């Protein structure tokens, strides 16, 4: 299963490293990354393969959310299908 | 890869605009539970619900976590209880309500619908006893919801049932007077009741349905309002287009969740109900969509036209997004559950007569409306008859959920709390319809041709 990780917040050093580290910890393979700065807001979107993840989805989600809270970022991880079904006919 | 803007749009809809799946409702047939021994029947009902719906709440929560979409309610609808109660017509069917309530608590759903009777053409065995027991059943149980279908376009309106239901609505309120008359909020009276509606309190599992089915109700008035707010000068053709596009996206999400729930529960997928169901939360109001279209307040002249546009556009956008659409599908206008409606009713912009007109073009009917506690049963019956007539003639569902606020007068408020919100008590016309209601009989089914 593939999931989309989004990170939105104020730009600072180490966001990509922070999120990637969590992915490594859970054996999640990052397949694509795109990032942009909108005004001074940092938006990063990662497509990750979580089929070989070594922990339940909920735990990964919790850790990412917690990372977001600590760094004043909004971090979400959601199943890829939600975006495909909403935006592609 | 996916478009960044699309991804951010979805997240924005969920985080800031209250987009959610309002309910996953599992429909369960109780027909095979019928038994001439009521205790044995209650045992079978309890066992079947627990067996089929044991994983419903857990599955809903799993999907919610994985897809990141809030799924607000997990619920159950069952075969109208009057049908199984017919197997032992001399027993008080309230025992069935208790069995349903126990099962609902056991599997962890917050409401279970189907303590119902379909009497649009007349009372069958079991129907009368069940209807008589509704006030007691709703007062003594916590999670059971009830509905009665009193008319249809094909059958006309059963005015004996209408007269009876006026008294039943009052009794429901009286028996729960110490709990905000909440019994009446769990009772819906229908004309043209849909058999696959996932929304409470009017959900039941129709007789034409399979043994078990999963239906999903989506919501998202906040998303539609936000989309319209971005186009303040659009003409109404463009407004309808924006609503359609937004409804399409919302419904696609519902379709995904419905399919996923169906797969995980190993239960057939029934329908997606593409409704705009408001909540009292700020930014989750259907009234505010109407105001966004250009009304100073919901209830102003023009409200019916705006609502007609909205209701139609929601359906048009939604039908293409789902393989099976059903239920009530359209815009709900419950007064107590919609922040904009509450404000409009409080300031006097929205009256009961305007609401009645709006129900001719919305997806449901007079919903969650508090009326003065001293309103006599025949006036309640007459409101039911008016509303059923609108549904019957227009070949649409109309539902009525009135709450006689025992001991309270117009201008006061009923506070239900949570998703049920608060309802200002609205004035009713007090001229008597007693003679009309006491005539009884049936209003014949309307012509389906010569439509003018």
- Where along chain B do its domains lie? 25-191, 216-438
Measured in angstroms, the CA of A70 and the nearest CA of chain B are apart by: 19
Does the CB of B6 have a partner CB in chain A at under 8 Å?
A: yes
Six-digit token string for B173: 């309120």
> If you measure CA to CA, which chain A residue comes closest to B257?
A82
Does the CB of A30 have a partner CB in chain B at under 8 Å?
A: no
Q: What is the 3-state secondary structure (H, E, C) of chain A?
A: CEEEEEEEEECCCCHHHHHHHHHHHCCCEEEEEEEEEECCEEEEEEEEECCCCCCCHHHHHHHHHHHHHHCCEEEEEEEHHHHHHHHCC
Q: Tell me: the pLDDT tens digits for B190-218?
A: 999 999 999 999 999 999 999 999 999 99
Report the first-to-last Cα separation within chain B, whole angstroms. Answer: 53
Residue written as token pair 């075969």:
B79
Interface predicted TM-score of the whole assembly (ipTM), two decimals? 0.85
> If you measure CA to CA, which chain B residue comes closest to A57?
B66
CB contact under 8 A, B10 and A84: no
- Bridge-based pairing of strands B144-152 and B156-158 is antiparallel
Q: Tell me: the pLDDT tens digits for B220-242?
A: 899 999 999 999 999 999 999 99
CB contact under 8 A, B253 and A83: no
CB contact under 8 A, A45 and B4: yes
Does the CB of A12 have a partner CB in chain B at under 8 Å?
A: no
Whether B216-438 and B25-191 are alike in CATH topology: the answer is: yes
- Which fold does the domain B216-438 belong to in CATH? Anaerobic Ribonucleotide-triphosphate Reductase Large Chain (3.20.70)
Measured in angstroms, the CA of B434 and the nearest CA of chain A are apart by: 53
DSSP string for residues in B338-354: -HHHHHHHHTTS--HHH
CA torsion sign for B222, B114, B318, B2 is positive
Measured in angstroms, the CA of A37 and the nearest CA of chain B are apart by: 12
Mean pLDDT over residues B292-321, rounded? 94
Tell me the C-alpha distance between B429 and B37, whole Å.
Answer: 46
What CATH architecture is A2-87?
A: 2-Layer Sandwich (3.30)
Beta bridge partners of residue B334, listed in sequence order: B367
Does the CB of B10 have a partner CB in chain A at under 8 Å?
A: yes
Going by C-alpha positions, the residue among B170, B168, B167, B165 that lies closest to residue B181 is: B170
Tell me if B25 sits within 8 A of B203, measured CB to CB: yes
CB contact under 8 A, B4 and A36: yes
**pLDDT score for A10:** 87
CATH of domain B25-191: 3.20.70.20
**pLDDT score for B1:** 58
Q: Tell me: the pLDDT tens digits for B386-417?
A: 999 999 999 999 999 999 999 999 888 888 88
Does the CB of A45 have a partner CB in chain B at under 8 Å?
A: yes
Does the CB of B233 have a partner CB in chain A at under 8 Å?
A: no
Tell me the C-alpha distance between B148 and B381, whole Å.
Answer: 13
């Amino acid at each position: 299963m593939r999931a989309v990780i989004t990170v939105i917040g104020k730009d600072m050093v180490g966001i990509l490293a922070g999120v990637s580290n969590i992915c490594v910890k859970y054996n999640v393979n990052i397949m694509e990354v795109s990032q942009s700065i909108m005004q001074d807001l940092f938006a990063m979107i990662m497509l990750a393969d979580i089929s070989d993840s070594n922990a339940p989805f909920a735990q990964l989600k919790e850790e990412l959310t917690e990372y977001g809270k600590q760094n004043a970022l909004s971090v979400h991880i959601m199943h890829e299908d939600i975006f495909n079904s909403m935006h592609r006919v | 890869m996916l478009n960044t803007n699309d991804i951010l749009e979805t997240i924005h809809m969920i985080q800031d605009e209250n987009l959610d799946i309002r309910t996953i409702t599992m429909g369960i047939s109780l027909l095979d539970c019928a038994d001439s021994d009521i205790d044995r029947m209650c045992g079978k009902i309890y066992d079947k619900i627990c067996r089929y719906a044991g994983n419903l709440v857990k599955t809903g929560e799993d999907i919610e976590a994985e897809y990141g979409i809030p799924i607000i309610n997990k619920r159950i609808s069952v075969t109208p209880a009057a049908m199984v109660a017919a197997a032992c017509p001399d027993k008080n069917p309230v025992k069935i309500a208790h069995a349903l309530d126990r099962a609902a608590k056991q599997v962890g759903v917050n409401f279970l619908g189907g303590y119902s009777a379909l009497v649009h053409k007349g009372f069958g065995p079991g129907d009368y006893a069940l209807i008589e027991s509704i006030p007691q059943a709703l007062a003594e149980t916590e999670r059971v919801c009830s509905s009665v279908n009193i008319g249809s376009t094909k059958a006309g309106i059963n005015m004996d049932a209408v007269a009876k239901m006026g008294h039943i609505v009052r009794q429901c309120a009286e028996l729960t007077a110490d709990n905000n008359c909440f019994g009446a909020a769990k009772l819906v009276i229908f004309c043209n009741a849909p058999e696959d509606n996932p929304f409470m309190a009017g959900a039941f599992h129709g007789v034409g349905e399979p043994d078990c089915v999963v239906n999903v109700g989506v919501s998202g008035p906040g998303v539609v309002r936000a989309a319209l707010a971005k186009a303040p000068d659009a003409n109404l053709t463009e407004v309808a287009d924006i609503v359609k596009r937004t409804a399409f996206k919302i419904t696609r999400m519902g379709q995904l969740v419905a399919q996923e729930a169906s797969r995980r529960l190993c239960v057939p997928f029934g329908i997606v109900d593409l409704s705009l169901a408001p909540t009292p939360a700020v930014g989750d109001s259907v009234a505010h969509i109407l105001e966004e279209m250009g009304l100073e307040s919901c209830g102003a002249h023009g409200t019916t036209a705006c609502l007609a546009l909205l209701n139609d556009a929601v359906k048009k956008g939604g039908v293409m997004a789902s393989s099976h659409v059903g239920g009530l599908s359209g815009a709900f206008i419950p007064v107590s559950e919609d922040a904009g409606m509450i404000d409009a009713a409080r300031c006097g912009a929205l009256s009961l007569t305007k609401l009645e007109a709006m129900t001719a073009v919305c997806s449901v009917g007079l919903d969650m409306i508090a009326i003065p506690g001293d309103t006599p049963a025949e006036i309640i019956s007459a409101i039911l008859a008016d509303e059923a007539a609108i549904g019957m003639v227009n070949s649409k569902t109309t539902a009525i959920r009135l709450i006689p606020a025992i001991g309270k007068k117009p201008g006061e408020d009923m506070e239900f709390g949570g998703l049920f919100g608060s309802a200002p008590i609205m004035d009713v016309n007090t001229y008597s319809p007693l003679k009309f209601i006491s005539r009884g009989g049936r209003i014949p089914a309307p012509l389906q041709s010569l439509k003018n």
